[in-house]
Amino acid sequence: MKLEVTILGSSSATPVYNRNPTSQLLNCNEKFYLIDCGEGTQQQLIRFGFKANKIDYIFISHLHGDHYFGLIGLLSSLHLNGRIKPIKIFAPNALQEILALQFKHSETFLRYPIEFTAIEATESVLIYENADVKVETVVLNHRIPCTGFKFSQKPRMRKLIVEKLEEDNIGIEYYPLLKRGADLNLPGGKIILNKDYTTDPTLPKVYAYCSDTLFEGRYFASIQNCDLLYHEATFLHEMLDRANQTHHTTALQAAQVALITNAKKLLIGHFSSRYKALLPLLEEAKTVFQNTELALEGITYEI
């Protein structure tokens, strides 16, 4: 089952050097989850060949503009383009008020319903699940309430060795039981052992998204053992004082988070406008955690 993330925006506060404010598109089994929606997100979707109408879930980490100023535009375009199916939004409660005010004064009456779930940045909780994935919040420490999101794939069913099943004339009516891991007791007394006719499913993967935060231990427990950890890395470590003042993280600290939480791979982003070249941030992170990559716009990272 597919789990991959495409970076739509990798910049922090302002768009600069062709980099856009934060947004990511997670594809889980061909369902699309938008994570943050900075200004320019809908143009980025078009640029990289994604249909905005395929997005059914939007997660907003916090109400700094670089994480949601693209939302009203995106929601309006979906309306103008004839969307009728609902969209789920998970965000701080105040966003409802902000959206309502913007729609009120533009006399916009959406054709599709918004199903809004208010998020509180107090404790890590499950906010959504379906057959493919469950989503939990990660409580971060930023200047205003802020949560990251952890997407965990649901365990998959066992894989059938179809040629062998056909060879031994085992009817397809037994396939669902075998997929679930059961042994079979066929009429006539023949025993079919599951392990002879199935193989292990691919392991479920975990993706965690940590947007703006101060480096501190409180959220580490909720992001243990991720297959891919996205973590903001706004500054180089020589700017640690600035990072602490603004409740952000340095590239070195992001790498420390990956190391401490036993991530398999780290993706760093939310780059400050002071850095035209990003290689120094990558090199700094790699001194602590080798398997690090830059979150580059338009690139899709398999999880």
CB-nearer residue toward Zn ion: 14 or 76: 14
What is the nearest approach in angstroms of Zn ion to the Cβ of residue 23? 11
CB-nearer residue toward Zn ion: 96 or 273: 273
CB-nearer residue toward Zn ion: 180 or 274: 274
Q: What span, in angstroms and rounded, lies between the C-alpha atoms of 188 and 143?
A: 69
According to CB under 5 A, which residues from 164 to 183 bind Zn ion?
none
19 touches Zn ion by CB under 5 A: no
What is the nearest approach in angstroms of Zn ion to the Cβ of residue 139? 14
Lookup: tokens for 104:
């009120």
CB-nearer residue toward Zn ion: 64 or 265: 64
Number of residues near Zn ion (by CB under 5 A):
3
What is the nearest approach in angstroms of Zn ion to the Cβ of residue 248? 8
**CB within 8 A of 69, min separation 6: which ones?**
21, 37, 38, 39
**CB within 8 A of 94, min separation 6: which ones?**
63
What is the nearest approach in angstroms of Zn ion to the Cβ of residue 70? 13
What is the nearest approach in angstroms of Zn ion to the Cβ of residue 122? 18
Of 36, 56, 66, 183, which is the active-site residue?
Answer: 66
What is the nearest approach in angstroms of Zn ion to the Cβ of residue 257? 17
39 touches Zn ion by CB under 5 A: no
CB-nearer residue toward Zn ion: 66 or 136: 66
66 catalytic, yes or no?
A: yes
According to CB under 5 A, which residues from 46 to 105 bind Zn ion?
64, 66
212 touches Zn ion by CB under 5 A: yes
Lookup: tokens for 174:
């037994």
CB-nearer residue toward Zn ion: 38 or 170: 38
From 127, 126, 120, 129, select the one nearest 147 (Cα to Cα): 120
Residue with smallest beta-carbon separation from Zn ion:
64
From 76, 68, 29, select the one nearest 52 (Cα to Cα): 76
Binding site for Zn ion (CB under 5 A): 64, 66, 212
Catalytic residues: 66
